[in-house]
Amino acid sequence: MHGFLRLAAAVPDVRVADVNHNVEQIVALTHRAAAEDVALAVFPELSVTGYTCADLFFQDRLTAAAAEALGRIARETQSCDTIIVVGAPLYHRNRLYNCGIVIQSGLVRGVVPKSFLPNYKEFYEKRWFTPGADVFDEWITLNGEEVPFGVDLVFGGGHNLVLGVEICEDLWNVVPPSSRLAQAGATVIANLSASNELVGKADYRRDLVRTQSARCVAAYVYSGAGPRESTTDVVFGGHGLIAENGMVLAETARFVGGNELLCGDVDCERLRATRISETVMPDNDMLGVQVVELSSLPVPSVLRREVTPLPFLPSEPSKTHERSREILSIHSSGLAKRLEHTHAHVVVIGVSGGLDSTLALLVARAALERLGHDLDRIIAVTMPGFGTSKRTFTNAVSLCRVIGAEVREIDIVPACLQHFADIGHDPEQHDVTYENVQARERTQLLMDIANRERGLVVGTGDLSELALGWCTYNGDHMSMYAVNSGVPKTLIQYLVRWVADQSSAEVRDVLLDILDTPITPELLPAHENGEIAQKTEEVIGPYELHDFFLYHMVKYGARPRKIGFLAEHAFDGKYTPKEIKRWLDVFVKRFFSQQFKRSCIPDGPKVGTISLSPRGDWRMPSDAVDDLWRDDV
């Protein structure tokens, strides 16, 4: 289903050294996982015997029973396409190894030994087991069958799932095996663990799993031994974690007991796209490993995953202040450097009373403060035209005055009427020429003022407008430094609101009214009652949808059909599937047809992971045909 696979951390009710009981729990959880369309279920370390058997591992009765149990697990889960990874002690060449065993559809597909054994107070595995870090390209005899054995195994299961296995302490090593497995193509890492609980250890463990998933650009499934393990000296909590590229998708409540099945839906297509576009993997990434092919995998019929409708916004509310300050610091530092380098005496900004020029003005203020300059070096030019409303004009002037900028007002109507006469255009014909004449007149004025005052024109256009081409070529499309070019509309709203919350009542009131004003270029005459006639989102669609489409298309290369599916999930109850499809088609059409504008945009700071600068992040021919994408819509 659109590249999603359901992965699970399974924590069975283990009894120490009771192999028959443990097998029953593993089989039952496997069938439960299969019924829930789970593609991969990971069990804890040594889950067949229990981790805390200690010197009982020297007993042949236990190890022989464990090996036989694997055959029983395989037989009793033969009807399940779910991949399971269980833990057991296995002999190989007269050495005992702590192993992860990969089983699917009644077959043991491979065995991976634990690479690094703990050697400290409560755990001294070297007393019983042999480290497996140097076991490569071997075979182990298991219940009469030869099975691939080694730390060089990856398991391919289709749907972009390539499985690598490491065991508990391996993750704590300086260079975990999962790092090498990811380089070898693994997109999902299974960790069978028996990490005991100590005060604060769960937080550390969670961070390890989360950061390793990010470092490997992979999904990471961690299954820890449960509270039914022996409590002779330590206690286990049954900590299960599922992470995807730095984000924890699901986590168990610890110390619960019973048979736990923690599920999380992982986007394997997204992982593949991220690896292709954003990471550096060795050119020979598939060399030095054995690839074990698996059977087809179950695919979930319903998505069990939260999809944020606002992907450009900080995901953690607790970090709102930190993230907003960081974004504005990137903005203002970039502008400060450009002002310093060009020896610009002033900053020239066209202010409209809208969101974009508001953020540009706030960034200019921060840049001048960073340079230690007076704020009257900001020349804020308001240029009322045919569609300027009293509300936006008042807000523009009020904001400039309360932050200390110099305000200049230039009425562009006479110049535009002269221009209409020069080119033979009827001013009663409110078409694209009528609109663009105003936008280009404003840009010409700003450029000429900057020349006269030895200044630099700061652009106000944002990332969303660049994606849609919602700008006038060589009008608001052009500036000397485009501070908003890396910021989408939804993030601009977020940042302006954050600044409002930090500001004096006088500034806050103006900013909140700007936020409450409909988004508009105001290039068409207002209604007779003075209300805004031209509302952007009524023409091209909601910006929150377009920003969502932009994020998934550019960052992950998602096809339109998948983007629409995700949007239906994220905006359920707000937009109908029909509305989403309509605006997605508009987005695709405009994104392709307007590339020529993005091919020659001015410099501007990159703020997040997505930019449409032709000099770095997005290189696309202006003549590309959109048929494949629109057909997919």
Which CATH number does 317-632 carry?
3.40.50.620
What is the pLDDT at residue 289?
Answer: 87
Which is nearest to 115 in space by CA: 192, 41, 52, 12? 192
- What's the whole-number mean pLDDT along residues 339-360? 96
When mean pLDDT is compared across 313-317, 492-496, 506-510, 604-608, the lowest value belongs to 313-317
Does residue 258 have a pLDDT over 90? no
Does residue 231 have a pLDDT over 80? yes
Give 110 or 118, the one with higher predicted confidence: 110
- pLDDT, one tens digit per residue, over 292-346 is 999 999 999 999 999 999 999 988 888 888 999 999 999 999 999 999 999 999 9
What is the pLDDT at residue 42?
Answer: 98
For residues 293 and 102, give the distance between their C-alpha atoms in angstroms, rounded to a whole number: 11
Q: Where does the pLDDT of residue 160 fall: very low under 50, low under 70, confident under 90, or very high at 90 and above?
A: confident
What is the pLDDT at residue 109?
Answer: 97
Give 317 or 632, the one with higher predicted confidence: 632
Does residue 251 have a pLDDT over 90? yes
Output the six-digit token pair for 57. 């591992």
DSSP string computed for 518-549: PP----SPPPTTS-----HHHHH--HHHHHHH
When mean pLDDT is compared across 285-294, 359-368, 391-400, 527-536, the lowest value belongs to 527-536
Burial of residue 473 (number of CB atoms within 10 Å: 0-12, 13-18, 19+): middle
- Give the CA distances from residue 420 to residues 90, 256, 387, 430, in Å, rounded to whole numbers and listed in that order: 86, 76, 16, 12
| End-to-end alpha carbon distance in the chain | 16
- Give the CA distances from residue 117 to residues 42, 133, 153, 193, 238, in Å, rounded to whole numbers and listed in that order: 20, 10, 19, 12, 20
HSE on the CB side for 470, CA within 13 Å?
27
Does residue 117 have a pLDDT over 90? yes
Output the six-digit token pair for 360. 């540009």
- pLDDT, one tens digit per residue, over 394-427 is 999 999 999 999 999 999 999 999 999 999 999 9
Q: What is the 3-state secondary structure (H, E, C) of 71-88?
A: HHHHHHCCCCCCEEEEEE
What is the identity of the amino acid at 243?
A: A
Which is nearest to 265 in space by CA: 218, 213, 300? 300
- pLDDT, one tens digit per residue, over 363-403 is 999 999 999 999 999 999 999 999 998 999 999 999 999 99
For residues 495 and 185, give the distance between their C-alpha atoms in angstroms, rounded to a whole number: 39
For residues 152 and 146, give the distance between their C-alpha atoms in angstroms, rounded to a whole number: 16
pTM (2 d.p.): 0.92
- pLDDT, one tens digit per residue, over 562-586 is 999 999 999 999 999 999 999 999 9
Neighbouring CB atoms inside 10 A of 504's CB total: 8
Which CATH number does 4-293 carry?
3.60.110.10
For residues 30 and 226, give the distance between their C-alpha atoms in angstroms, rounded to a whole number: 17
Please identify every residue annotated as catalytic.
45, 114, 168
- pLDDT, one tens digit per residue, over 70-86 is 999 999 999 999 999 99
What is the pLDDT at residue 267?
Answer: 97
DSSP string computed for 494-524: HHHHHHHHHS-HHHHHHHHHHHHSPP----S
**Angle of helix 355-371 relative to helix 390-403, nearest 10 degrees?**
10
Which is nearest to 349 in space by CA: 408, 291, 276, 299? 408
Output the six-digit token pair for 509. 């009131």
Q: Where does the pLDDT of residue 167 fall: very low under 50, low under 70, confident under 90, or very high at 90 and above?
A: very high
Does residue 521 have a pLDDT over 90? no
Return the domain boundaries, the chain. 4-293, 317-632
Query: Is 349 within 8 Å of 364 (Cβ atoms)?
Result: yes
What is the pLDDT at residue 294?
Answer: 93
For residues 105 and 73, give the distance between their C-alpha atoms in angstroms, rounded to a whole number: 10
Partners of 87 in the β-ladder: 100
Query: Is 487 within 8 Å of 512 (Cβ atoms)?
Result: no
Residue 504: helix, strand or coil by DSSP? coil
For residues 122 and 115, give the distance between their C-alpha atoms in angstroms, rounded to a whole number: 19
Q: What mean pLDDT is reported for the chain? A: 94
What is the pLDDT at residue 497?
Answer: 95
What is the pLDDT at residue 502?
Answer: 92
When mean pLDDT is compared across 215-229, 263-277, 284-298, the lowest value belongs to 284-298
Output the six-digit token pair for 30. 């496997």
- What's the whole-number mean pLDDT along residues 621-631? 96
Q: Where does the pLDDT of residue 287 fall: very low under 50, low under 70, confident under 90, or very high at 90 and above?
A: low
What is the pLDDT at residue 280?
Answer: 61
Q: Where does the pLDDT of residue 617 fall: very low under 50, low under 70, confident under 90, or very high at 90 and above?
A: confident
For residues 426 and 472, give the distance between their C-alpha atoms in angstroms, rounded to a whole number: 20
What is the pLDDT at residue 284?
Answer: 52
Task: Please report, rounded to a whole number, the percentage of residues in the chain having pLDDT higher than 70.
Answer: 97
For residues 543 and 27, give the distance between their C-alpha atoms in angstroms, rounded to a whole number: 49
What is the pLDDT at residue 281?
Answer: 65
Neighbouring CB atoms inside 10 A of 99's CB total: 31
